[in-house]
Structure 1
Amino acid sequence: MPYEDYELIRITVDHGICRATIDNPPINLLDQALMFEIDRLTQEIAADGAVRVLIVDSADPEFFVAHADVALILDLPVDDITLHDHLSPFHQVMERFRTLPKPTIAVIEGICRGGGSEWAAAFDLRYAALGKAIFGQPEVMFGIIPGGGGTQRLPRLVGRGRSLEAILGGMDFDAATAEAWGFVDRALPPDELHRFVDKLAARIASVPPKTVAAAIRAVDASLDAQVGDIVTGLRVEDQLFRETLAQPEARQRLQAVIDAGAQTRAFELGDR
């Protein structure tokens, strides 16, 4: 049976809709264990003919996914800063998720920064809670650039200027701004968010799966014709991410944020 033995994701399937709820206390950190479960879920959903739509939300109302594990980033090798012909492991996981042949919907009610925001950008649809959801790409503040697809997927959603504001400024932006920019498809009051998404998912699940898949392929073909091949951009991003990570100042900044209490609830919920 699929969907067994998950420790960080709660999974239910009903009427063609799979709901995956992230539950990785204390802050839903995108660590290696959660990445493994996301990748496993992606592959099981792809193979499950009973599932027509995937909804991902969070068990923690204050965090969707806080960000990628900084300690994991610091452990990445820095002795190779050449352009690779292959995708990085993180990019591979995100691309498998992005190209999942079934609609994916993110329900974002809390903090969603760094790698969490990059994962959100890989969904087909994103919906956020007004007054609660917070987005950000703070990597440059620590001397690196986004390394999980942020420099490639964000511009496709919000354009070059807004992407550079988010990435170079490293500042948070709220759900209303994310909706105005086009990063999320709708920003809704918290008490309306799940009701709207559930209704939408039920409508999609009622459509023949081949029709849904064809519609997605057609939309993607239109975008690909305009902006080219995302994999090439991801390879460039990966090279530049590793290049910036190799800088001593970047590693010092990353270590300093851990030493300052990062990845604890108090730190992540504080004013940034």
Structure 2
Amino acid sequence: MTAPYETISASTRLDGNVLFATFNAPPINLIGPEVVRDLVGLLEEVSRPASARVVVFDSADPDFFFPHVDLTKVPEYTAEAAKAGGPGDASLGMLFRKLSEIPAVTIAKLRGRARGAGSEFLLACDMRFASRENAVLGQPEVGIGTPPGAGAIQHLTRLLGRGRALEAVLTSADFDAELAERYGWINRAVPDAELDEFVAGIAARIGDFPRDALIVAKAAINAISLPTPADVRADAAMFQQLVRGEATQQRTTELFERGFQTRGRTELNLGDALGDLKAVD
């Protein structure tokens, strides 16, 4: 790698064909402006012709992959996301679409919690493998007061089907790895002790294949399965509108009073915490 990153440790291995990128943004890996800035830079780097053929993403924090965005810094991280595509595409949704479209094959290795935009980041990757014992996924946005705005509606509906996508989005509940695998949210739930070797094996196998074949095959599948830019922008606009609304502000205030965005019971068990909030019309 040629660029230094504040929140990503990156190293190329396996004959230079596979890049391992580890997110590390203490205290709990919230998606804020620093993470988004680094992700924009990394995506630009791995889009170059001589870059790695496969990128494996994981987290340095065993409890939190990405718990969600930093709700105190929405304008700041949105401004960083705009640098990937310009002011007209100032959203995580469009940044994550760029992640889906880069020529490298992207694999997410999940330990800990990936909720909200953290789940949406995983959904934008080409493949997702999770620790059977230590992985949690969720879309908490509706429980907070907004719809998901960075791809969950589009991806989960395609992957899970209408009924299960509605269950995942409208309940804002936590899903363990086994249920997520059964629903199609992830590719596989793998025993934690085997996860690193399993993902490295898949990455190495793909990394040895001809680059042009990987790029063309991925592009063809993307053409069938990815949402349109207009759909991504519409979801982002609705999120941006409702995240500033009164109901969202009331519910996030109560969550912050309970320790939201800190390493504690509320973040560890956010699905349960959302169910305990006061009802808001």
TM-score (structure 1 length as normaliser): 0.89
The one-letter code sitting in structure 1 at the alignment partner of 2:116 is G
- Once residues 58 and 76 of structure 1 are traced to their aligned partners in structure 2, the CA distance between those partners, rounded to angstroms, is 19
Match of 2:243 among 233, 241, 245: 245
The one-letter code sitting in structure 1 at the alignment partner of 2:137 is F
Give deviations 1:72-129, integer Å, cap 9, x for gaps.
238899xxxxxxx943332232121111111000000111111100111000000000
- Once residues 208 and 231 of structure 1 are traced to their aligned partners in structure 2, the CA distance between those partners, rounded to angstroms, is 29
Q: Percent sequence identity over matched residues?
A: 35
Give the match for residue 7 of structure 1: 6
Alpha-carbon shift at residue 230 of structure 1 (Å): 2.3
Give the match for residue 164 of structure 1: 166
- Once residues 50 and 236 of structure 1 are traced to their aligned partners in structure 2, the CA distance between those partners, rounded to angstroms, is 32
Give the match for residue 64 of structure 1: 65
Do the aligned partners of 2:110 and 2:128 also contact (CA within 8 Å) in 1?
A: yes
- Once residues 196 and 77 of structure 2 are traced to their aligned partners in structure 1, the CA distance between those partners, rounded to angstroms, is 37
The one-letter code sitting in structure 1 at the alignment partner of 2:112 is G
Residue segments in structure 1 that go unaligned for 5+ positions in a row: 78-84
Match of 2:261 among 252, 260, 263: 263
Runs of 4+ residues over 6 Å off in structure 1: 74-77
Residue segments in structure 2 that go unaligned for 5+ positions in a row: 79-86, 273-281
Do the aligned partners of 2:18 and 2:204 also contact (CA within 8 Å) in 1?
A: yes
- Closer, same or farther in 2 for the Cα pair 1:218/1:75, shift >3 Å? closer
Alpha-carbon shift at residue 155 of structure 1 (Å): 1.1
* SS of aligned partner of 2:89: coil
Give the match for residue 80 of structure 1: none
Give the match for residue 81 of structure 1: none
Give the match for residue 96 of structure 1: 98
Match of 1:220 among 209, 219, 222: 222
Give the match for residue 21 of structure 1: 22
Superposition RMSD in Å: 2.0
Do the aligned partners of 2:32 and 2:76 also contact (CA within 8 Å) in 1?
A: no
Alpha-carbon shift at residue 69 of structure 1 (Å): 0.7
The count of residues paired between Structure 1 and Structure 2 equals 260
TM-score (structure 2 length as normaliser): 0.87
- Closer, same or farther in 2 for the Cα pair 1:36/1:76, shift >3 Å? closer
